Structure 1
């Protein structure tokens, strides 16, 4: 294997006026350039906070653990592709830690991401979150679990990432706050294209994402386009969801606090009519635009929702549905949406209090009278 080439981008000190001497030096941030056949992990391990690891055009057969704060892992577009290495594990559960040291390096645990079946893992710990990591402009495909997985991340930015044909999730996070997911494509993944949750391994109340934003993503051909599970204070805006079994799921359960304070606005959600079988946690899915189940105080507004048709109990343009553990949805506002050709456009089978339907342009509802 060729030795990894590392280029350096350094900031130099400048003189401020004649006779005033040099200003204090600005910390140098380096660009570590990696070519196909070289080790991404080696470059990531060598990087310091604020550095960029730049992946050039081509295919890399590797999984990567990132635990250095402030690191940017960036390709040059969809033509920068990460695939599993030959003989990679087909793990069925996401990693909950990479053994990161106090210095932020992954050390001996550098292969944990691959062992768990993931492509890129951004991993902090309960006591030390990994802050301000950016992953951008690359493709992750063919991983047994998740294309890009993050846990205990604060300020994670994922942009222009294409996650295709991964076994479970395209892009997924747990225990994370202040996230930005923008201009990504998640297509033909086994479960959700984008999956955001408090945790998948424990039963606990919804947690506050402190303003996570999911916007301008294309989510196509997945089981669910976007799943927001047991979270609060999050916005989904300007996304295009089509060809999934269901577009958007906001999911809560009997734990306290409930999922809620989620805003779903200005999205285009159409023809999510793929058929998906029943699972242990969820009924069969087909023809669902937006589903709120066990959620409270959320706003669904100004969305265009068309031609979502199916025979599932959850089918319809916008659906309020009592959770499968019997938790009701309360005080959610469904307003000013355009709905056409859904079967039906609006559905409320929830017995929760304070849910309102106002100003929607629609033609059919269950029960009648919601339009």
Structure 2
């Protein structure tokens, strides 16, 4: 052994003896809380600390769950289904269940819940929403199936930098995926700081994806079929205006389910991508085909003034394949200024001349 090796070993021994090179204490390690059907998910969530994972064994859990701690991961095994359904008799203090939701991730204005991950779960049959999130930052929802819920499959408000990828939302009463500034107040659009909705499958809903009064997000590489409408971007006259977002490379086909009118919208059928009251939005490289209906909102890519009369302005619709849609492939049914249609492959437009 050389003198240099001996000196190195002596130095290492001194560091270990002093405690500087010792392993971190057990209390600082991430804990995995394992839950089986019949056990309480909520009890495990309440016991978890930031960085912990709650791992759910396959099976059916009859409860709603509320997450208010940052840094948690809630996930199923991912091989066999892990399903949450409504409890027969929720506890009196279970606010998430009483609101009709399956999974709630909720913070406050002063203390948003940060970096929560929800993965590999099915949320089925809740009266309101499968997943409801409010006041979150960097929420990740991945490989979640939200089906047969009364209003929204996966929904978020008052939040930033959310990522929603590789989920399935089907047969929900309203939108499969719903992102909004807020659902209980009138105010201008908020900046999501780069939220992303990508690689999701959306079918059988009233609307596949609704983005309401938001700015700075991306909707890309999603597959939407069998809904009444595939993608709705909703704004109004408030400031800042909704928009400054990107919708690209989505496959939107045969969204021909018929849905009755509501107090705010006419009946829906055969709507691909609809912009209402939005600005500075890029709609590019999407494939929008075979969406057919006779609603004022029917068509492949449609610009329509919002229900309060706000116009679309300075939106760029380009390089899309938009074919066999009715009553038109491209339809500008608005009088807003600065909207451009260029490089699209289409057959019929309203007004004529955009194909």
* Length-normalised TM-score, structure 2: 0.93
Q: Deviations over 1:178-230 (max 9, x none)?
A: 10000000000000000000011100000000000000000000000000000
Deviation at 1:87, TM superposition (A): 4.0
Report deviation, 1:17: 4.5
Report the Cα distance in structure 1 between the residues aligned to 2:287 and 2:12, rounded to whole angstroms.
58
Aligned length: 337
Matched, 1:169 2:152: yes
1:20 aligns with 2:50: no
2:309 aligned residue:
326
- 1:20 is displaced (CA, Å) by 2.8
Unmatched segments (≥5 aa) in structure 2:
1-10
Answer yes or no: is 1:267 the counterpart of 2:266: no
- Name 1:101's counterpart in structure 2: none
Q: Does 1:249 align with 2:248?
A: no
Q: Secondary structure at the match of 1:20?
A: helix
Contact 1:307/1:341, CA 8 A, preserved across alignment = yes
Q: Does 1:182 align with 2:165?
A: yes
* Alignment-derived partner of residue 81 in structure 1: 83
1 CA distance for matches of 2:89 and 2:182?
29
Instruction: Report how far residue 19 of structure 1 moved.
Output: 3.8
Q: Kindly indicate whether residue 236 of structure 2 is the aligned counterpart of residue 220 of structure 1.
A: no
Instruction: Answer 1 or 2: which has greater helix percent.
Output: 2
2:65 maps to which residue? 64
- C-alpha separation between the residues in 1 aligned to 2:186 and 2:22? 53
Where does residue 211 of structure 1 map in the other structure? 194
| Residues 88 and 45 (structure 1), Cα distance of their counterparts in 2 relative to 1, 3 Å cut | closer
Q: Which has the larger radius of gyration?
A: 2
Instruction: Encode CA deviations 1:205-261: one digit per residue, 9 max, x unaligned.
Output: 000000000000000000000000000001001000000000000000121111001
The residue that corresponds to 1:10 in the other structure is none
Q: Report the alpha carbon displacement of residue 171 of structure 1 after superposing the two structures with TM.
A: 0.1
Partner of residue 286, structure 2: 303
Q: Distance in 2 between matches of 1:76 and 1:342?
A: 41
Q: Give 3-state SS (helix, strand or coil) of 2:274's partner.
A: strand
Partners of 2:167 and 2:77 in 1: how far apart? 14
Give distance in 2, aligned partners of 1:280 and 1:252. Answer: 16
Q: TM-score, normalised by structure 1?
A: 0.89
Query: Could you report, residue by residue, the CA deviation over 1:317-370 in whole angstroms, capped at 9, with x for unpaired residues?
Result: 000001111100100000000011111100001111100000001011011011
Query: 5+ residue gaps in structure 1?
Result: 1-15, 90-107
Q: Distance in 2 between matches of 1:228 and 1:262?
A: 10
User: Residues 88 and 117 of structure 1 are in contact (CA less than 8 Å); yes or no, is this contact kept in structure 2?
Assistant: no
Match of 2:96 in 1: 113
Tell me the distance in 1 between the aligned counterparts of 2:257 and 2:323: 18
SS of 1:291's partner is strand
